[in-house]
Amino acid sequence: MEQVLIFATVLLPIVTALVELVKKTVNLPKNIVPAVSFVVGIAIGAVAYPFSDLDLIMRLWAGGFAGLAGTGLFELAVNKREGNTKDAE
pLDDT surpassing 80 at residue 16: yes
In contact, 33 and 26? CB cutoff 8 Å: no
**Rounded Cα–Cα distance for residues 20 and 71 (Å):** 10
pLDDT tens digit sequence for 54-75? 899 999 999 999 998 887 755 6
Beta bridge partners of 84: 29
More confident residue, 87 or 6: 6
Rounded to two decimals, the pTM is 0.78
**Rounded Cα–Cα distance for residues 44 and 39 (Å):** 9
Domain limits, the chain:
2-77
- The H or E element containing residue 53 is none
pLDDT tens digit sequence for 23-57? 889 998 888 888 899 999 999 999 988 888 889 99
**Rounded Cα–Cα distance for residues 67 and 36 (Å):** 8
